[in-house]
A and B are shown apart, each in its own frame.
Chain A
């Protein structure tokens, strides 16, 4: 221990003696370590703690998938869920939810709120506690008794100024009175982005419709039940369902996912791992850089090392001494790196639009915690060893008698050291090249993403969503009339050039694509090869507003909305995929669900 203390003291002395080089190396390492720490913190939030729930490891998501059509994650039908709930022995609770969106009115500025319809056992399944009030009662899951509401902490804080007397307050939700019965704890916003929760009261037709799949299902494993056991049981249940209702479950499969994987999604995981790889490259480059500096520094100490060896220092002792220097250097870099990581995270967090951030699972939990500090220490240790081991090993093997002579060659490098230094330079350049190419591709892809919108100049477009409450607009004709009046009102605003409507604003919903199956007249669907496309309902002037050019046929007119033959405009890619070599004009297609309302 005494000897290690001596080596530490000497290492500090040497680092201080060459403080300019020490500072340069520490900064290089700080860049690598800081970037790694920052991305690690993000990865930890996204991948390890995406859902801030205790016991999340015992909660699974049960989803449908259609691998043949590249649909990996899809919601399930109400009867499917109800049968799972009845038949499973692996889960002590099974809950479900659906995406929704409502308007709060009557108690302040009208506000669109991201709410979720949840089964009444949703919160007990997740095992979360409320800050105020209570969870939904079982009877509140019945139609007519479901006008209850639980607020998120954030919405309670922003809209109601954290009113402690909020319970029992009635708010207008899509024109209907809802009573607030609870407020969730701070930080809980699951499903990601939730601002409010309403009880899901299944309509009678939903309880029997196996083709409508509105539910995302979560199950809490019973104690002692493993994921593999639950998986096996649920697959058996799903197979029985498929056997009993082959048409409804054709090509559909069941997948069980951990809650974390479900909340994070494949894209986030892939990009996070990609980022981790990229910053690892940065650190390797920094290590190679520092190793070369160490080579130069240690090479100039050949005489000292020869003297130490002559005095009885073994090679391992010399290597240890040099490695301690290298590791100390790395630890200095790590200290700087922690500050850099803090700054990087602050930059990332402050530049992410809140409307995007709230839908990223785990975003609110990004911070530098003890895990990140331990990670920093470990990679600093590894970096110190990595950047110091080669210079230490090569320079500890010295020709003692030659070096100690007055006229000896002293600090000449030797072929092995030259080769190693060249190898480090080559490795550094190679890694930097890979990073550069990756960064270039990223920039190119991002540029392509930005310029894909150039035809319609998104900076000149103002968009907004609205939901028409069913109670006030029960008929399609009433909704169509509202749409027309809204468009006329917008057209009268002098600052607006034109206005149009579309079901979903392009590129506005992340990777969510509501692909629907469709059929082609006189072309039977091949078994296992159904056709799907994203279907948008648009006002007639949508194409001109978005500057989407017509290739063939005609665009919509006002008369198309009347009770005439429904019409459709298809994309070029769909035409090529489903009508190769033929003219699609005049051909008839319809949604497979055969929805009669447009």
Chain B
């Protein structure tokens, strides 16, 4: 399929149904979504509206029950698990609400993780990890373990891990959910900074304050997009 040069993600008619004990749960219905390169998108909505499910499908952590999904011009909705894993490793960076750093790995080893699964050489890994940690201001804590860091610091490291592989897009699922307001603000500033430098970001949040950091807001309700708005200016 031929896309315009700016289109990074395109979803058409995406549905997600969960089957549990003969019960069908329609988490997403008829999702049509386009995300262009360099955009900063927020996905908001009440609990259970399907925003995390949508982010999972966007991030290739899950696959849609129906519909089409193109990522960077490649149709990815019907890929095998291993193909999704490979694309996810190379094209997508994740930031989770619970940070999801591996406690038995140092900061360096956590950030290095995506590169090890890509087969990147040791010298190149070292350089990229160093650069990523410098971007988030955590280069001085290389040998520390996550348990030795504050929440805000852990999330910074998680951001570095998401950036280290130069992904096409950053997927952030409630990145400030486990942080106090000060640290939350700091992480959001970091994301804004990254966006200014050209990063494409798709963020799920239920906090309106942080939703306004994005330049485009998508509201979900009962698994459907009910509203889409564009921010003209973002207040600091």
**Stretch of B7-15, B28-36, B94-102 that contacts chain A:** B94-102
B81–A311 touching, CB < 8 Å: no
> What residues of B have a CB within 8 angstroms of the CB of A513 in the complex?
none
Q: Report the separation of the CA atoms of residues A405 and B51 in the bound assembly, to the nearest whole angstrom.
A: 12
Name which of B94, B116, B177 has the most chain A CB atoms within 10 A of its CB.
Answer: B116
B118 close to A (CB within 8 Å)? yes
Q: B82 touches which one: A308, A314, A401, A406 (CB < 8 A)?
A: A314
Q: Scan residues 473-516 of chain A and give those whose CB is less than 8 A from a CB of chain B.
A: none
B200 close to A (CB within 8 Å)? no
> What residues of A have a CB within 8 angstroms of the CB of B52 in the complex?
401, 405
Per-residue contact bits, chain B 92-115, to A (CB 8 Å; 1 contact, 0 not):
001011101111110000000110
Q: B117 touches which one: A304, A311, A404 (CB < 8 A)?
A: A311
Q: Report the separation of the CA atoms of residues A312 and B113 in the bound assembly, to the nearest whole angstrom.
A: 8
A308–B102 touching, CB < 8 Å: yes
A312–B90 touching, CB < 8 Å: yes
Q: Report the separation of the CA atoms of residues A400 and B94 in the bound assembly, to the nearest whole angstrom.
A: 13
Q: Report the separation of the CA atoms of residues A401 and B85 in the bound assembly, to the nearest whole angstrom.
A: 13
CB distance from B26 to the nearest CB of A (A): 16
Q: B114 touches which one: A3, A13, A312, A317 (CB < 8 A)?
A: A312
> What residues of A have a CB within 8 angstroms of the CB of B68 in the complex?
none
Q: Report the separation of the CA atoms of residues A400 and B114 in the bound assembly, to the nearest whole angstrom.
A: 16
A314–B102 touching, CB < 8 Å: no
Q: B98 touches which one: A310, A313, A314, A406 (CB < 8 A)?
A: A406
Instruction: Name the prevailing secondary structure of the A interface residues.
Output: helix
CB distance from B147 to the nearest CB of A (A): 12
Q: Report the separation of the CA atoms of residues A537 and B177 in the bound assembly, to the nearest whole angstrom.
A: 99
> What residues of A have a CB within 8 angstroms of the CB of B119 in the complex?
3
B166 close to A (CB within 8 Å)? no
Given A311-B89, A313-B85, A406-B177, do A10 and B105 touch, yes or no (CB 8 Å)?
A: yes
A404–B61 touching, CB < 8 Å: yes
Given A401-B56, A406-B177, do A312 and B118 touch, yes or no (CB 8 Å)?
A: yes
Q: Scan residues 424-483 of chain A and give those whose CB is less than 8 A from a CB of chain B.
A: none
A2–B122 touching, CB < 8 Å: yes
Q: Scan residues 117-147 of chain B and give those whose CB is less than 8 A from a CB of chain A.
A: 117-119, 121-122
Q: Report the separation of the CA atoms of residues A14 and B98 in the bound assembly, to the nearest whole angstrom.
A: 22
Given A400-B61, A401-B62, do A406 and B97 touch, yes or no (CB 8 Å)?
A: yes
CB distance from B87 to the nearest CB of A (A): 9
Q: B86 touches which one: A312, A401, A405 (CB < 8 A)?
A: A312
Q: Scan residues 172-190 of chain B and give those whose CB is less than 8 A from a CB of chain A.
A: 174, 177-178
CB distance from A44 to the nearest CB of B (A): 42
Name which of A13, A303, A307, A400 has the most chain B CB atoms within 10 A of its CB.
Answer: A307
Q: B85 touches which one: A14, A303, A309, A404 (CB < 8 A)?
A: A309
A6 close to B (CB within 8 Å)? yes
| Count of A-B contacts judged by CB separation below 8 Å | 71
B89–A312 touching, CB < 8 Å: yes
B88 close to A (CB within 8 Å)? yes
B156 close to A (CB within 8 Å)? no
Q: Report the separation of the CA atoms of residues A365 and B114 in the bound assembly, to the nearest whole angstrom.
A: 55
The size of the chain A interface, using a CB distance under 8 A, is 25
The residue in chain A whose Cβ has the minimal distance to the Cβ of B87 is A312
A307–B90 touching, CB < 8 Å: no
Q: Scan residues 16-68 of chain A and give those whose CB is less than 8 A from a CB of chain B.
A: 17
A112 close to B (CB within 8 Å)? no
A315 close to B (CB within 8 Å)? yes
Q: A303 touches which one: B88, B100, B105, B121 (CB < 8 A)?
A: B100
CB distance from A253 to the nearest CB of B (A): 63
Q: Scan residues 266-310 of chain A and give those whose CB is less than 8 A from a CB of chain B.
A: 303-304, 306-310
CB distance from A400 to the nearest CB of B (A): 5
CB distance from A139 to the nearest CB of B (A): 79
The residue in chain A whose Cβ has the minimal distance to the Cβ of B103 is A304
Q: Report the separation of the CA atoms of residues A483 and B62 in the bound assembly, to the nearest whole angstrom.
A: 96
Q: B62 touches which one: A2, A311, A400 (CB < 8 A)?
A: A400
Q: B116 touches which one: A3, A14, A304 (CB < 8 A)?
A: A3
A13–B104 touching, CB < 8 Å: yes
Q: A315 touches which one: B81, B88, B161 (CB < 8 A)?
A: B81
CB distance from A351 to the nearest CB of B (A): 47
A312–B178 touching, CB < 8 Å: no
A311–B104 touching, CB < 8 Å: no
B61–A311 touching, CB < 8 Å: no
Per-residue contact bits, chain A 383-427, to B (CB 8 Å; 1 contact, 0 not):
000000000000000001100111000000000000000000000
B116–A310 touching, CB < 8 Å: no
Q: Report the separation of the CA atoms of residues A13 and B104 in the bound assembly, to the nearest whole angstrom.
A: 8
> What residues of A have a CB within 8 angstroms of the CB of B104 in the complex?
10, 13-14, 17, 304
Q: A307 touches which one: B97, B102, B177 (CB < 8 A)?
A: B102
Q: Report the separation of the CA atoms of residues A406 and B119 in the bound assembly, to the nearest whole angstrom.
A: 30
> What residues of A have a CB within 8 angstroms of the CB of B113 in the complex?
308, 311
CB distance from B47 to the nearest CB of A (A): 10
A404–B96 touching, CB < 8 Å: yes
A→B interface (CB under 8 Å): 2-3, 6, 10, 13-14, 17, 303-304, 306-315, 317, 400-401, 404-406
Pairs A-B, 8 closest by C-beta atoms: A312-B89, A312-B117, A401-B56, A401-B61, A406-B98, A311-B113, A311-B114, A307-B100
Besides A2-B122, A17-B104, A314-B82, 12 other A-B contacts (C-beta < 8 A): A13-B104, A14-B104, A304-B102, A307-B101, A310-B94, A312-B85, A312-B90, A312-B114, A400-B61, A401-B52, A401-B56, A406-B178
Query: 18 A-B Cβ contacts within 8 A?
Result: A2-B121, A6-B116, A307-B100, A307-B101, A307-B102, A310-B88, A311-B114, A312-B90, A314-B85, A314-B117, A315-B82, A317-B117, A400-B62, A401-B61, A401-B62, A404-B61, A406-B98, A406-B178
